[in-house]
A and B are shown apart, each in its own frame.
Chain A
Amino acid sequence: MTTNSRMLFLIGVAFHLLVIAGHNILATADGVRTIYGWRLLPVPTEHRLRALLSHPVAAHYGIFSGIGMGYGFYAPQVGSPYVAMLERKSGGHCDTLFHPGLRTSTGILRFSSALDLFQWLTVAPDTAAHGMAKQLVDELAKQYRRRSGADSVRCHIYRIQPPSFQRPSDGIGLREVFSSSGYSIP
């Protein structure tokens, strides 16, 4: 192992660790801004860091080495998961099912990750987010109708409300946040 190869290795490691730290600092800053509304980093610093990490070299490196994410698992708070319910009508018969036909718990978990998009509706309830949510719900209903051959399918998105310390005996509740027939988000 030569001195040059060691130097190159150390430069590479410094880049690797800085990319990890950068993504995590931004993820933490985003979390803090969402919850408390204050900024962890000054605006110019945050913009500069974001621009650096979204440079094609850093972005591709982050994706392929798996470091292009924040490690704040369940932080700064535990989000409420979302669930999709499909209401199927076929020849006068009506039935409902949760998760559009997925059979495994890992498949359902992955599908729930996609539904986390609905979190943005409560964080940033703008027209684009609503448009995307509507498209997603409509497509879910359309795809399921095509696959199941039902006459009509309506899709509802619920947010799971876990029990709280104030009312521990209430159990888990469901609150509708979106449906293919229209918005129900405040």
Chain B
Amino acid sequence: MLTHFFFKKPVGGNYLQLLRIGTGSVLLFAVLELWPDFDALYGPDGVLPHSLVMEIQSAVGLSYPTILQEIHSVTAWPYAVLTHGTVTLYAILCILLAFARRLHRIVAAALLLLHSSLFTVQPLYSYGFDFLGSVALFYCLLAPRRPSSSWARPWLRVLQLHLCLIYFFSGAGKALGHTWRNGAALYKALGVPAMPPLLPLDTALPTLGEYPFAFAIGGWAVIILELGYAAGIWWRRTYSLFLYGAISLHAAIALLLGLYHFSLLMIVFNYCAFWTDPPAQYGNRQDGTPEAAKSTSTGYRPVM
């Protein structure tokens, strides 16, 4: 059964190309937005000195400050050149990841190393998006290039299971907090958005705060959506509800909390993992209809 789950069914869509284009685009967007502040946060003469950054959080692996110091000591290039060069290199690798299909493993490996040394090895200035970026790059590195490869299906399954674990633990954590159950957490999150949102609710929030039950319903909806996703996404009848529910949740997070990069990456994950491979497709393939035969002959849904 386990072998059947991972290896037997043909791949549903060209998620591999979508994952590379989506990941490259979102990471490029994120690093270009960060560029004006990159030197202040990651340069040696930034808001905090490298020595203190290293002292606050010990790095697991080779961190960016260490690499920067090593390159500077060897080449004697100014730090400003090195930090701007880093962003340029990162941006070029993002573009190559999206479009240079033949080089995708080399590019994904290089970008993963650079991304990790910048954001996850020494995560003082990092947030969830950076770790999810590593996850996306990790799958870009390991998954095959072509959807017709026999390894395309197994890696899609791993991505799907990973996404289910993300939602399950996110929902379980929220269910354990009483403020999510009474809506206070949702009210607080909307009251103090992480970044300036497209649709700020600050003027409407005092009025909305007079209806706490509405936020309690919202809190429970998020908990049920996240907890139920892990099971509901595999069932044909609830698949659309959970897939579009999750995408809507991320769109709302982007619009109301301002977490654009995180939301875009999660939408890319959902799109690659489940939109290209809906459970209903298996039913069609077994029923012997002309649509099923056509679907099986092409093997995957074409990319838009």
A164 within 8 A of B: yes
Chain B minimum-CB-distance residue to A69: B131
Q: B126, A104: Cβ atoms under 8 Å? A: no
**How many residues from B make CB contacts under 8 Å with A?**
82
B36 within 8 A of A: yes
Q: A63, B205: Cβ atoms under 8 Å? A: no
Of B61, B150, B177, most buried by chain A (CB within 10 Å of CB) is B177
Q: A72, B169: Cβ atoms under 8 Å? A: yes
Q: A110, B41: Cβ atoms under 8 Å? A: yes
Q: A65, B135: Cβ atoms under 8 Å? A: yes
Q: B2, A143: Cβ atoms under 8 Å? A: no
Q: B41, A111: Cβ atoms under 8 Å? A: yes
Q: Which of B48, B49, B191 contacts A114 (CB 8 A)?
A: B48
**How many residues from A make CB contacts under 8 Å with B?**
68
Interface digits, A79-108 against B, CB 8 Å rule (1 contact, 0 not)? 011000000000000000000111111111
Instruction: Decide: A110 near B125, CB < 8 A? Known: A78-B185, A143-B47.
Output: yes
Nearest CB of B to A28, in Å: 5
Give the interface of B toward A (CB within 8 A). Answer: 2-3, 6-7, 30, 33-34, 36-38, 40-41, 45-49, 52, 55-56, 60-61, 112-113, 116, 120-121, 123-128, 131-138, 150-151, 154, 158, 161-162, 165-167, 169-170, 172-174, 176-180, 183-185, 187-189, 191-192, 194-196, 202, 205-210, 212, 215, 258, 261
Instruction: List B contacts of A140 (CB < 8 A).
Output: 47-48
* Chain A interface, DSSP helix/strand/loop, else mixed: helix
Instruction: Decide: A74 near B189, CB < 8 A? Known: A66-B137, A140-B48.
Output: yes
Q: B176, A28: Cβ atoms under 8 Å? A: yes
Chain B minimum-CB-distance residue to A14: B2
A6 within 8 A of B: yes
A-B contacts at CB below 8 angstroms, number: 226
A45 within 8 A of B: no
Of A31, A107, A132, A136, most buried by chain B (CB within 10 Å of CB) is A107
In the bound complex, CA of A94 to CA of B195 (Å): 28
Q: Which of B46, B169, B176, B196 contacts A70 (CB 8 A)?
A: B169
Instruction: List A contacts of B55 (CB < 8 A).
Output: 132, 135
Q: Which residues of chain A in 40-64 are interfacial with respect to chain B, using CB atoms and an 8 Å cutoff? A: 59-60, 63-64
Instruction: List A contacts of B124 (CB < 8 A).
Output: 113-114
Nearest CB of A to B154, in Å: 6
Q: A31, B212: Cβ atoms under 8 Å? A: no
Q: Which of B36, B56, B183, B202 contacts A107 (CB 8 A)?
A: B36
Q: A172, B192: Cβ atoms under 8 Å? A: yes
Q: A78, B125: Cβ atoms under 8 Å? A: no
In the bound complex, CA of A107 to CA of B48 (Å): 13
Of A80, A100, A102, A109, most buried by chain B (CB within 10 Å of CB) is A109
Q: B127, A31: Cβ atoms under 8 Å? A: no
Instruction: List A contacts of B195 (CB < 8 A).
Output: 105-106, 108-109
Instruction: List A contacts of B30 (CB < 8 A).
Output: 106
Give the interface of A toward B (CB within 8 A). Answer: 1, 6, 9-10, 13, 16-17, 20-21, 24, 27-28, 31-32, 35, 59-60, 63-78, 80-81, 100-114, 117, 132, 135-136, 139-140, 143-144, 147, 160, 162-165, 168-169, 171-172
Instruction: List A contacts of B209 (CB < 8 A).
Output: 163-165, 168-169
Q: B188, A72: Cβ atoms under 8 Å? A: no
Q: B176, A32: Cβ atoms under 8 Å? A: yes
Instruction: Decide: A64 near B138, CB < 8 A? Known: A21-B165, A24-B169, A107-B37.
Output: yes
**22 A-B Cβ contacts within 8 A?**
A17-B158, A31-B173, A60-B61, A64-B134, A71-B128, A72-B169, A73-B170, A75-B174, A75-B180, A76-B180, A100-B40, A105-B195, A107-B41, A108-B195, A113-B127, A136-B48, A139-B48, A143-B48, A160-B192, A162-B191, A165-B184, A172-B191
Q: Which of B127, B166, B173, B188 contacts A27 (CB 8 A)?
A: B173
In the bound complex, CA of A101 to CA of B37 (Å): 9
Nearest CB of B to A49, in Å: 14
In the bound complex, CA of A92 to CA of B207 (Å): 44
Q: A164, B174: Cβ atoms under 8 Å? A: no
Q: B45, A64: Cβ atoms under 8 Å? A: no
Q: A71, B166: Cβ atoms under 8 Å? A: yes
Q: B176, A10: Cβ atoms under 8 Å? A: no
Chain B minimum-CB-distance residue to A105: B195
